[in-house]
Amino acid sequence: MRRALITGVNGFTGHFLTRELEQHGWEVWGLGSHPEPERARYRHVDLLDADALGEWVQQVQPQAVIHLAAIAFVGHSNARAFYDVNVVGTRNLLSAVGGLTQRPERVLLASSANIYGNTTEGALNESTPANPANDYAVSKLSMEYMARLWMDKLPITIMRPFNYTGVGQSESFLLPKIVSHFLRKAEVIELGNMEVWRDFSDVRDVAAAYRRLLDSDVAVDQVVNVCSGRLVSLREVLQMAESITGQSIKAVTNPAFVRANEVKTLCGDASRLSQLVGTWEPRPLDETLTWMLSSQSGAQ
């Protein structure tokens, strides 16, 4: 069995990626942000602790590394944490992996489509100029530039996922918040700017894309969007949820939830992903919402 090391393994994406890899013959080892003493092949390691990180990487000796660990919530209040974790933590990881005697077959780094910022014309491809609009996006773009210093030493692929969702995602994210209100049969939901448009994918498809990138030799040294290529407005999401559940809900704008420097429109071009992994046919959003709104949604 090939051995994969996933950072952020106990997070939302890490859960689904672990299952995806194990179903395709990988042995998954993990690194996470909190202790899980009963979990095999796992260690709680701070990415800023370079010594502990290097020790764990040497113990695992992975054939593949998938770096998911990050401060991922754009509204996170501590700007410094974005740079500490997303830039310095990633550099510590690359240094540790670069110290392995046996070079891994692939290193996948999760960046973010937020680096494109408020670039609204058409679907964005990987050559679209970066225009980050908040500290989270700046930290991810900084990580990408830093990672380029390692591309002559490690087989790196940088992934720019657009928005994705699914069962188990925190309610600090928009779609899970909407789903939770419908599951509770709430009459009113308070939201921020409702005139936003996003490219949403299903987390299960994103996990499959990451796994397929691991097996794509032509993905080395590439930056690749992971997206659906379909744009949906927040109002359309509410309409889909109402149609699926048969419920209606009153949406009101709470000024406290309106973010400064909000990215208004973000749609991706998945052409390069298709070139690297083959046919790419992500689920439609209504199928994902049906899964999330199902009374059986606990069965993932």
Q: Which residue has the tokens 């083959």?
A: 278
Q: How far apart are CA 141 and CA 30, in angstroms?
A: 25
Q: Does the predicted model carry a pTM greater than 0.75?
A: yes
Determine the structural domain holding residue 207 and report its residue range. 2-165+201-227+266-282
**Within a domain: 19:** yes
**Within a domain: 92:** yes
Would you say residue 25 has pLDDT above 80?
A: yes
DSSP notation for 79-138: HHHHHIIIIIIHHHHHHHHHT-SS--SEEEEE--GGGG-S--SS-B-TTSPP---SHHHH
The answer to which of 177-181, 195-199, 217-221 has the lowest mean pLDDT is 195-199
What's the domain count of the chain? 1
The answer to which of 39-48, 69-78, 116-125, 203-212 has the lowest mean pLDDT is 69-78
**Within a domain: 218:** yes
**Within a domain: 233:** no
pLDDT at 264: 80
pLDDT at 137: 92
**What's the mean pLDDT in 86-97?**
97
CATH number at residue 92: 3.40.50.720
pLDDT one-digit tens code per residue, 52-61: 999 999 999 9
**Within a domain: 243:** no
Other beta carbons within 10 Å of 287: 12
**Within a domain: 29:** yes
Compute CA 133 distance to the chain's CA centroid, rounded to the nearest angstrom: 18
**Within a domain: 7:** yes
Q: How far apart are CA 222 and CA 215, in angstroms?
A: 14
Would you say 128 and 117 are in contact if contact means Cβ atoms under 8 Å apart?
Answer: no
Would you say residue 183 has pLDDT above 70?
A: yes
What CA–CA distances, in Å, run from 250 to 6, 253, 258, 285?
A: 40, 10, 17, 21
Which residues face 32 on adjacent strands?
A: 44
pLDDT one-digit tens code per residue, 257-300: 887 767 788 899 999 999 999 999 999 999 999 999 996 554 45
| pLDDT: which is higher, 146 or 35 | 146
**Within a domain: 211:** yes
